[in-house]
Amino acid sequence: MGASVRRTLPYVQLKRIQSPAGRPNEWKAGRPGEPQRHRGHRGGAWRAGAGRGRAFVDGSNVPASRGEAGAESLFWVLGASEVPFPKACAKHRTIALFLATGEGYDGRADWDGLVADIAVKKRRKRRRRQAVWQVWLRTGIEAAALLVAGLIGVIAALGFAAEHFAGADLWESLLPFAATVLGLVLAAALFLRLWRAWRRWISRYLAWAPAAVAALLMLGAAWCAGQPFFHTEVTRLRTLMGGSAEAERQAIAHQVYAAYRRADHAELQRLLERARVYQATVHEAAAAFGVDAEVLMGVGAAESSFYPRDSADGGRGLFQITAPPAPALNAARRQLQVSTLDPLNQRHNAFVAAATLQRYLEQMNGDLFLGLLAYNIGPRNGGLRSIMEQYGARDFVTIQPYLQHLPRDYPIRVLAAALAYRLWRADGKLPRYEEGTNATHIQRLGIPGFSPQSVPEPDGAGQAQAGRRPPNTASSNALK
Q: Give the DSSP per-residue string, 56-120.
A: E--TT----TTSTT--SS---B-SSS-EE--THHHHTTB---B--SSS-BTTB--HHHHHHTS--
- 328 with 189, same domain: the answer is no
83-97, 123-137, 357-371, 461-475: which is most confident: 357-371
Question: If you average pLDDT over residues 202-223, what whole number do you get?
Answer: 90
Q: What is the CATH number of the domain that holds 368?
A: 1.10.530.10
Q: Does a structural domain hold residue 470? A: no
Ramachandran angles phi, psi of 83, nearest 5°: -125, 145
pLDDT at residue number 435: 87
- 168 within a domain of the structure (yes/no): yes
What residues have CB less than 8 Å from 196, skipping those under 6 apart?
Answer: none
Residue 452 lies in a domain: no
pLDDT of residue 105: 38
Is 278 in the same domain as 422? yes
pLDDT (0 to 100) of residue 244: 60
Q: What is the pLDDT of residue 248?
A: 72
Secondary structure of residue 384 in the 3-state scheme = helix
pLDDT confidence band for 311 (50 / 70 / 90): confident
Residue 97 included in any domain: yes
Rounded percentage of the chain residues whose pLDDT exceeds 90? 24
The residue among 22 and 329 whose pLDDT is bigger is 329
Using DSSP, state whether 462 is helix, strand or coil: coil
Residue 418 has pLDDT above 60, yes or no: yes
Residue 440 located in a structural domain: yes
Give the contacts of 268 (CB within 8 A, at least 6 positions apart): 417, 420, 430
Q: Specify the range with the lowest mean pLDDT, choosing from 84-93, 187-196, 340-349.
A: 84-93
Q: Is residue 463 part of a domain?
A: no
Tens digits of residue pLDDT in 72-83:
333 333 333 333
Provide the pLDDT confidence category of residue 245 given band limits of 50, 70 and 90: low
pLDDT of residue 421: 94
Residue with the bigger pLDDT between 420 and 389: it is: 420
Whole-number pLDDT of residue 404 = 66
For residues 96 and 186, state if they share a domain.
no
Higher-pLDDT residue of 476, 172: 172
Mean pLDDT for the stretch of residues 289-309: 91
Q: What is the mean pLDDT of the chain?
A: 69
Q: What is the average per-residue pLDDT within 316-341? A: 88
What integer pLDDT is reported at residue 10 of this predicted model? 36
More confident residue, 41 or 265: 265
418 & 314 share domain: yes
Instruction: Examine the pLDDT at 90 and tell me if it is beyond 90.
Output: no
Question: What does the pLDDT read at residue 405?
Answer: 60
What is the distance between the alpha carbons of residues 374 and 125, in angstroms, rounded to a whole number? Answer: 78
Give residue 40's pLDDT: 36
Question: Are both 48 and 151 inside the same structural domain?
Answer: no
Is there a domain that residue 467 lies in?
no
173: DSSP letter: I
**Looking at residue 296, what is its pLDDT?**
94
Instruction: Look up residue 380 and give its DSSP letter.
Output: G
Q: How many domains does the structure of the chain reveal?
A: 3
Does 308 share its domain with 413?
yes
Residues 6+ apart with CB under 8 A from 128: none
- 147 and 98 together in one domain: no
Question: Do 26 and 40 meet the contact criterion of CB atoms below 8 Å apart?
Answer: yes
Same domain, residue pair 327 and 438: yes
Q: Which tops the pLDDT comparison, 102 or 193?
A: 193
Beta-strand pair 83-84/27-28: unpaired
Q: What gap in Å lies between CA 225 and CA 211, rounded to an integer?
A: 21
pTM exceeds 0.85 for this model: no
Give 177 or 77, the one with higher predicted confidence.
177
How confident is residue 310, by pLDDT bands cut at 50, 70 and 90? confident
Domain C-terminal end among 126, 157, 191:
126
In terms of domains, do 279 and 385 share one?
A: yes
Q: Assess whether 139 and 68 both reside in one domain.
A: no
Residues 321-342 have a mean pLDDT of: 88
Among 92, 109, 126, the domain-final residue is: 126
DSSP 26-74: -EE--STT--EE-TT---PPPEE-SSTTEEE--TT----TTSTT--SS-
Residue 458 has pLDDT above 60, yes or no: no
Domain boundary among 126, 141, 165: 126
Name the pLDDT band for 218 (thresholds 50, 70, 90): very high
Residue 231 lies inside a defined structural domain of this protein:
no
Determine the structural domain holding residue 92 and report its residue range. 1-126
310 and 397 share one domain:
yes
Whether 329 and 219 share a structural domain: no
